[in-house]
Chain A
Amino acid sequence: MAAKKLNLKDKYKLLTRDLDWEFSYEDRKEAFPYEEFEGIKITDWSKWEDPFRLTMDAYWKYQAEKEKKLYAIFDAFQQNNGHLNVSDPRYVNAVKLFLTGVSPLEYQAYQGFAHVGRQFGGVGARVACQMQSIDELRHVQTQVHAMSPYNKFFDGFHDWTHMHDRVWYLSVPKSFFDDARTGGPFEFLVAISFSFEYVLTNLLFVPFMSGAAHNGDLNTVTFGFSAQSDEARHMTLGLEVIKFLLEQHEDNVPIVQKWIDKWFWRGCRLLSLVGMMMDYMLPNKVMSWKEAWEVYFEEAGGALFKDLARYGIRMPKYADVVEKEKEHVSHQAWWTFYAYGHAAGFHTWIPTDKELDWLSEKYPETFDKYYRPRWELAKKLEAEGKRFYSQALPQLCTTCQVPMMFTDMENPGELSYRSTEYKGEKYHFCSDGCCDIFKDEPEKYVQSWLPVHQIFQGNCGGPDVPDILKDFYHFNLGADNLDMKGSPDEERWKQWKSA
């Protein structure tokens, strides 16, 4: 055998772990003040196994090469009026939802990883988090650049960071990340690196990127490939975190299980927006939400949790409920947006007859029974010139901040509603999952900034809804919101296509 050369592992070690130093005159505990308060016990940081070995010099080289490729595509897209190649102008609304709902999360991830990348006593974990932080910053930048050409041609793209902080349905993704970032450093990694990036990320990225590919959006699909080449590092970090915590001390097992339960449930609630996008917003469908759930969670996640059982970790709590909900959530979400289409920053519409048939075929157990009749009614009203918009503001779940729209899986015709009292105040929830999360940390969730409550308390301007939408949310009324039919987006599209 040839003489052993300095392999990647040793090289990485020299460029990471050897950068740590002993604390001779400061107390190490004070240098890493957040490491213990969550109850996690770390006995030996040297057991941390680097989830990937990418040295900074190689990192810059690769990323620069990727950027060059990516921006060449962006340039070509702009020069060739790539926006005219999308399948249908309705598709662009999925991009609006992504830009306002997901891209700011990449920025939150950048901040979150930069923070925890300072807080771990172990240098291996610190370096991995810092590198992911840089990736996330790259992702938000490239996403914005991928989607920005649409801003010249379609409504609703003009003030996405502002909207992310204020708009009612965008508080769902925002509060998800706020919750993770205000946890301790280990909870943040279990929440984002493991539960989201490893267990659930394929349910977000694969549908969105394949959706872009199926609908002629070259910019977004290329961004997707570029980001996915980074995602693998994020996923392996998620796996290493979970193994490391579970192996360090047996007292960590119940804490990690609790976090997995919480973040799996929170992630599922967040993904109802993705389910809706897949089933309703993509004119050319990729697969149904139900199928995606079966492939990416039930099969892949099933194998993972079978392996995790060896550590004493069980399937996330309420995974059985989610398995039933896969038949329902996308329909409930799009119906809610359709009914509140005047208060959304993108357009809504009734599925075409062909799409309704596709939904019937993909959801034989539930669509015709529960959801098709609603769309038939909406069609009838629209034909009579009575397209309706719900005027009352919805009750929001205190934990996930989704309007009360989910039904009880024991009785899918009934709204699911839970409540609890804390210090004499009553709090409302969409599910046992969300109610349990609140009860475990009530002091955290009583501070939730619930958009509907804030409106009623007069903190969002107003008093009328249109004033709030216009002045507080920065919507261009009559252009960003309302039905696709008759929208300026639709008008312009017709003009371009007939030109």
Chain B
Amino acid sequence: MSYLVTIEPTGEEVEVEEGQTILDAALRQGVWLPFACGHGTCATCKCQLVEGEVDIGAASPFALMDVERDEGKILACCAIPESDLVVEADVDVDEDFAGHPVEDYQATVKAIVDLSPTIKGITFSLDRDMAFQAGQYINLDIPGVEGTRAFSIANPPSRANEVELHVRQVPGGAGTRWIHEQMQVGDTLKLAGPYGQFFTRKSDVKDAIFIGGGSGLSSPQSMVLELLEEGDPRQIYLFQGARNVAELYNCELLEDLAEKHANFHYIPALNAPEDGDNWEGFTGFVHDAVKDYFDGKFEGHKAYLCGPPPMIDAAITTLMQGRLFERDIHMERFVTKADGESEQSRSALFKRI
């Protein structure tokens, strides 16, 4: 049994297990809430309960006073949901966040293509248009699999009646195995979206660096396509990391775009090219390609990262060493069901990264 907790004003949703605190669930699912002590004495994580029932847990009477309890204040680090909840937290709404409502859609498989030996491209047509921001994701209901699976949208928002996903088969993963082995054109699935705080900060005119690893090309592809469609004048750099030429998918599409748009630069990097690949591009991890390209200096840029956690962590380290900091780094970590369960303890130094 789990409960759904909606965090206002951002509208992010967190699934909280029986007996789990809101803060613990939020941090594990990549939703940042202000916190410090983590055990009910400091009140940094104080929130307003808007809807639902909670057990306020072991909150200290000095951190959560009687008058506040009467007003419906809770401490996220102690509060355990007893129903689905809506809580209002001290988090900022990004001025570029459009806040498109999350809705359920019927999605019919229109095309399945082999993008690479491990990644399939799935295109769904939706029962109606979905408004979303480039970079956001959807939750897909997969037949016979408990819970939903999150996938980033690879098409630009201009193709509103479609959802294109890049799905890598996760070893031992039930959801992605079904997609790879059983899904057929014409199947109809349920999906919900759009979700997430990963989107293009268009109001900031700084040049943009996009880094996608593996099937994490999806969001950057959507974001880049949209910027180019809109004729955005900023310099756009897309770094794509893959193992070898066979895994480097959509390469021709992107090379083609780079030829047509003087402000778009496409830099693929392979970390283990095969002998037969005749690879002449950058050899090494994608974060090293970024470092090499910019000579290790990133001030004055915005960076958008999408892919598996080790790639994201390496890229953040590279960017920070080149003096680009949290406020200018945005990311979507592709956490698998298994990764989520082995989250390491972390300090409160960073909010999102």
Contacts and interface: CB of A to CB of B under 8 A. Distances in A.
Interface of A: 1-2, 4, 7-9, 47, 52-53, 62, 65-66, 69-70, 225-226, 228-229, 231-233, 235-236, 239, 242-243, 247, 250, 299-300, 303-304, 306-312
Contacts of B348: 235-236, 239
A9 B92 contact: yes
Nearest to B95: A4
A307 B346 CA distance: 8
A307 B67 contact: no
Interface stretch (B34-42, B148-156, B162-170, B195-203): B34-42
14 contacts: A8-B90, A47-B327, A65-B65, A69-B62, A229-B42, A229-B60, A229-B62, A232-B42, A236-B348, A239-B349, A247-B325, A300-B347, A304-B349, A310-B320
B111 interface: no
B134 interface: no
Interface of B: 9, 11, 36-37, 41-44, 60-63, 65, 67, 90, 92-93, 99, 101, 316-317, 320-321, 323, 325-327, 344-350
A296 to B, nearest CB: 12
B60 A228 contact: yes
A311 B320 contact: yes
B293 to A, nearest CB: 20
A310 B316 CA distance: 8
Contacts of B321: 310, 312
Contact of B37 (A2, A232, A306, A311): A232
Nearest to A249: B323
Contacts of B37: 228, 231-232
Contact of A7 (B44, B62, B92): B92
A226 B62 contact: yes
A218 to B, nearest CB: 13
Nearest to B63: A229
B103 to A, nearest CB: 13
A228 B317 CA distance: 33
Contacts of B350: 307
State the 6 A-B residue pairs at the shortest beta-carbon distance, nearest first: A232-B42, A1-B99, A304-B347, A232-B36, A310-B320, A307-B349
Nearest to B35: A232
Contacts of B101: 1
A57 to B, nearest CB: 15
Question: Which of B9, B90, B344, B347 has the most A CB atoms < 10 Å from its CB?
Answer: B347
A487 to B, nearest CB: 35
A66 B65 contact: yes
Contacts of B346: 303, 307
Given A231-B42, A247-B325, A299-B345, 10 more contacts: A7-B93, A69-B65, A70-B62, A243-B326, A303-B347, A304-B349, A307-B346, A307-B349, A311-B320, A312-B321
A4 B349 CA distance: 28
Contacts of A306: 347
B94 to A, nearest CB: 11
Interface of B, secondary structure class, is loop
B345 A229 contact: no
Contact of A228 (B9, B41, B345, B347): B41
Contacts, number: 88
Contacts of A47: 327
Nearest to A301: B347
B316 A7 contact: no
Nearest to B101: A1
Contacts of A310: 316-317, 320-321
Contacts of A308: 349
Contacts of A225: 41, 60-63
B43 to A, nearest CB: 5
Contacts of B345: 299-300, 303
Contacts of B62: 66, 69-70, 225-226, 228-229
Nearest to A312: B321
Nearest to A47: B327
A44 to B, nearest CB: 12
A62 B61 CA distance: 12
Nearest to A53: B90
Nearest to A222: B62
Given A62-B65, A229-B41, A235 B347 contact: no
Contacts of B90: 8, 53
A21 B44 CA distance: 30
Question: Which of B36, B316, B321 has the most A CB atoms < 10 Å from its CB?
Answer: B36
Contacts of A232: 36-37, 41-44
A141 to B, nearest CB: 16
A225 B40 CA distance: 10
Contacts of B325: 243, 247
A146 to B, nearest CB: 13
Contact of B323 (A226, A236, A250): A250
Nearest to A250: B323
A229 B65 CA distance: 11
Question: Which of A226, A303, A310 has the most B CB atoms < 10 Å from its CB?
Answer: A310
Contacts of A66: 62, 65
A1 B131 CA distance: 13
A219 to B, nearest CB: 14
Contacts of B44: 52, 232-233, 236
Nearest to B349: A307
Contacts of A312: 321
A51 to B, nearest CB: 10
Contacts of A311: 320
A232 B348 CA distance: 11
A304 B37 CA distance: 14
A307 B219 CA distance: 26
A97 B280 CA distance: 70
Contacts of A233: 44
Nearest to A304: B347
A66 B99 CA distance: 38
Question: Which of B61, B62, B90, B316 has the most A CB atoms < 10 Å from its CB?
Answer: B62
A345 B316 CA distance: 53
B349 A243 contact: yes
Contacts of A4: 9, 93
A408 B350 CA distance: 37
A381 B36 CA distance: 50
Contacts of B36: 232, 235-236
A145 to B, nearest CB: 15
A65 B9 contact: no
Contacts of B327: 47
